[in-house]
Amino acid sequence: MSQIQERGSTHVYKVNRISKEEMDGMVARCVYEEPAFCNAACPLKLDTRAMLKAAAAGDFKKALQIYEKAAPFPLILSAGCEAPCENKCRLCERGDGIAIRAVEAAVSRYGQASRLGGVFRTKKKKTVAVLGSGLFPLFLAGELEKKAYPTTVYCEQEDLERFLRSAAGFLDGEAFQLELKRLKGKDLAFVFDCEIDEAFLSARRDDSDVLCASEEVARRLFPETAFDPALMICEAERLVTGFGEGVMNAAFGAKKAALTVDRLAQNLDPRNMRGSEGAIESRLYTDLTEADELRRIAPAGEAYTAEEAAREAKRCIQCHCEECMKSCAYLKHYKKYPGLLSKEIYNNTQIIMGDHQLNKPMNACTLCGQCTVVCPNGFDMAHVCAVARRNMVSTDKMPLAPHEFALMDMLFSNGEAFMSRLQPGYEKCRYVFFPGCQASAIAPETVKAAYLDLCERLEGGVALMLGCCGAICDWAGRYEMQESTREFLLTELSKLGDPVIIAGCPSCRKELAESVGGEIVGIWDVLEEIGLPEGAHGLDRPAALHDSCGARGDAHTQQAIRSLAAKLGVTLVETEYSGDRSPCCGYGGLTAYANPEVASEITARALERSDAPYISYCMACRDRFARQGRESRHILELVYGTDAGAPPDISEKRYNRLSLKKELLWELWQEETADMKLDYELNYTEEARRLMDGRMILTDDVIAVLNDYRETGEAILDSDSGLMIARKRLGNATFWVKFTESGEDAYTVHGAYSHRMNVVRREG
């Protein structure tokens, strides 16, 4: 038996199959982290979406906390803000946008103010003086208090109420009192009755580290000096100040000014490290199809009550782009959007020493490409995972365990079970039928019927090649095996005179087109041309068509299959996610081997689309659906009137391939192959077969263990269970078989298990 070399763990290679820049470019396609449109439109960067979510849940305390991050005086802001967010609300495209400002006002009124400015906060050492009155000094003082700068406000007014009135005289009585209370609660020092002139300013320059002033004070004292509106600073005088009219301007100016103060206080250039400021454009994608509450809640009085505000906030559809996660069970399982997951998987490939914690997610993607189709920006998770797998193989960090069974199965398909023959009576064939390894494993009768039909109805001769196209090693990232498979297939095809390949499976077709090239058609194309054979008939009840991921982006094949189904008289039911948007059945990318749990979720998701029987055109899909208990048929079973029946277990799949080869070789080419008969009797309990299938233990493995036992007599007896237990190291694993013996030459297997670690006796 051939063997795959297990990796070592002592050497270190560094290989980058994908550059950081390329990765960043890919990650940027994912817009999940983009701000909501309302949030992006707000110069104050209010997380409107989160605030509305809290308000919708009736949690006004939390909503206010979010609002206060953007607005230290929420009632003033909500009363005077121009609300650029409201026009950007996506609901405007279908009806009324959310009344964000009115909800903000309710949140400010009914929410409980946070108590951030308490005595326990560590204050910064540098002090700030704010001179003058009005909206800008008020907001700036609020921002500086949030940043924990000891701040003193010097104003001409004689008390706090007059100071606040100079800024927000437009507030009504109750709101004014609430904001006054809020201002009193802030950790700010006030000096009233100040006469602000040059001497006063110069004295403040001496007793504080950073000096700020209202626009009025700045213009009065330095009428000739230029101000920088981006930094809110008069650099010549090292004076931070505000400009412009209106509440929003003042609030945004105060934010920029507070950042400038921050930089100046640390003796840093205020131009640098400012991050993103002001409104931006969002690249977020929002699906509006499910938006149904399109009309604004009208307040019964002048303003929203808490209950009305919550109802209005509930209309918010919480813009998020989750198109891929809605459709892909793999992304749903890991609860990570592809931008983040890709970054983590990329980092996983870069780890030289330490745990590769993302191996499992990297190997759980089916590489089906559905995300690329459903993503508004074409994010290609399959590419990320496929490159990452190859990268891990290049650095010898890829564990063999998740893929070894599948790879060994491929070696079996292209070894013991492989066959390639010209049609009897021909010295050269125009075609070669390549049904694919899964078709021979799952529906050998169908393969035989299809081959005989092609031989009969096609002119020029049809050769037969039973083997694997190489998709298995491609999916596993084993690029060296992929290359050797390509060379092997090229040689075999050349022996047949390089005929046109008739693929029986869309994934084989795709893989072969990329590897060996040449002219390749699908058997569905041929059947379209030559028509259905006699006796072909569809199902007598409506069925759902599952498009294979191998045919994604291949409208021609998808159409040919539909046309075949129509000719067979099958009534197809429409399903969500069909055609290019079809999900994977769970077999692709070797997920079924590397991560059976995720594979089951993927299969279940694919089956959620319809309760009808499923018709597929890839044998692996047929098998996955049948294994989950759904009536599942490959379209060729309908074409040839065969029924592959219940899904075979892993040993039967191998047996089927060998039997098909043996049968065809004998019947068509009169070649006899060695008998596979054992010289003893071997039975399995049902439980043993079930365990073996789940644990990926073949009957061949069991036979190897028992052969060894018969030769060496090495085994133990467990007197508790009365079972004998023998073992043998086969390739990279040790297999243990629990059995009973009846007479010399009859055994019943009760169980089997394996481990990859090698165990040896230790002396001393």
Partner 1 sequence: MAIERNYYTIDPEGKLQCLKCRVPLVKGKAKFMYLDNGFPVELPVCPVCGFVYVPEELALGKVLSVEKALEDK
Nearer to partner 1, 673 or 712 (CB): 712
Q: C-beta of 16: minimal distance to partner 1 in Å? A: 20
Which residue, among 524, 539, 546, has the nearest Cα to 570 in the 3D structure?
539
Q: Which amino acid is at 105?
A: A
Which residue, among 212, 218, 243, has the nearest Cα to 127 in the 3D structure?
212
Nearer to partner 1, 226 or 759 (CB): 759
**Pair type for strands 189-191 and 210-213:** unpaired
Beta-bridge partners for 544: 573, 614
Q: Residue 257 belongs to what H/E stretch?
A: helix 247-265
Nearer to partner 1, 290 or 763 (CB): 763
Which residue, among 107, 96, 146, has the nearest Cα to 295 in the 3D structure?
96
Nearer to partner 1, 10 or 272 (CB): 10
CA distance 168 to 166: 6
Q: C-beta of 604: minimal distance to partner 1 in Å? A: 25
If DSSP codes are grouped into helix, strand and coil, which group holds residue 607? helix
Q: C-beta of 591: minimal distance to partner 1 in Å? A: 17
- Are 754 and 697 in contact, with CB atoms under 8 Å apart? yes
Neighbours of 530 (CB within 10 A): 13
Q: C-beta of 706: minimal distance to partner 1 in Å? A: 13
If DSSP codes are grouped into helix, strand and coil, which group holds residue 755? strand
> Taking each helix axis from N to C terminus, what angle separates 100-110 and 173-185, rounded to the nearest 10 degrees?
60
Radius of gyration of the chain from Cα atoms? 36
- Are 284 and 321 in contact, with CB atoms under 8 Å apart? yes
- CB-based burial of residue 505 (10 Å sphere; 0-12 exposed, 13-18 middle, 19+ buried)? buried
Q: C-beta of 734: minimal distance to partner 1 in Å? A: 7
Nearer to partner 1, 656 or 754 (CB): 754
Nearer to partner 1, 172 or 718 (CB): 718
- CA angle (103, 109, 115) in 5-degree steps: 115
Kindly list the strands in the beta sheet with 500-503, ordered across the sheet, starting from the edge strand earlier in the chain.
Answer: 419-421, 462-466, 431-434, 500-503, 520-522
Nearer to partner 1, 260 or 754 (CB): 754
Q: C-beta of 739: minimal distance to partner 1 in Å? A: 12
Q: C-beta of 490: minimal distance to partner 1 in Å? A: 33
Beta-bridge partners for 251: none
Nearer to partner 1, 10 or 670 (CB): 10
Beta-bridge partners for 755: 734
**CA distances, 119 to each of 114, 188, 407 (Å):** 14, 12, 66
Retrieve residue 573's tokens.
């039911």
Q: C-beta of 719: minimal distance to partner 1 in Å? A: 5
Applying CB under 8 A, the residues found at the interface with partner 1 are 6-10, 354-357, 359, 399-401, 712-720, 724-725, 727, 734, 736, 738, 751, 753-764
Retrieve residue 683's tokens.
């039975």
CA distance 751 to 686: 10
Nearer to partner 1, 9 or 276 (CB): 9
Nearer to partner 1, 395 or 446 (CB): 395
Q: C-beta of 714: minimal distance to partner 1 in Å? A: 5
Retrieve residue 308's tokens.
């009305």
Q: C-beta of 353: minimal distance to partner 1 in Å? A: 8
Q: C-beta of 717: minimal distance to partner 1 in Å? A: 5
Q: C-beta of 137: minimal distance to partner 1 in Å? A: 58
- CA angle (61, 63, 69) in 5-degree steps: 105
> Taking each helix axis from N to C terminus, what angle separates 381-394 and 479-495, rounded to the nearest 10 degrees?
100
**Cβ-count burial 599-629 (b if 16+ within 10 Å, e if not):** bbbbbebbbebbebbbbbbbbbbbbbbbbbe
Q: Which amino acid is at 378?
A: G
Nearer to partner 1, 321 or 749 (CB): 749
Nearer to partner 1, 546 or 727 (CB): 727
Nearer to partner 1, 302 or 720 (CB): 720
Q: C-beta of 635: minimal distance to partner 1 in Å? A: 39
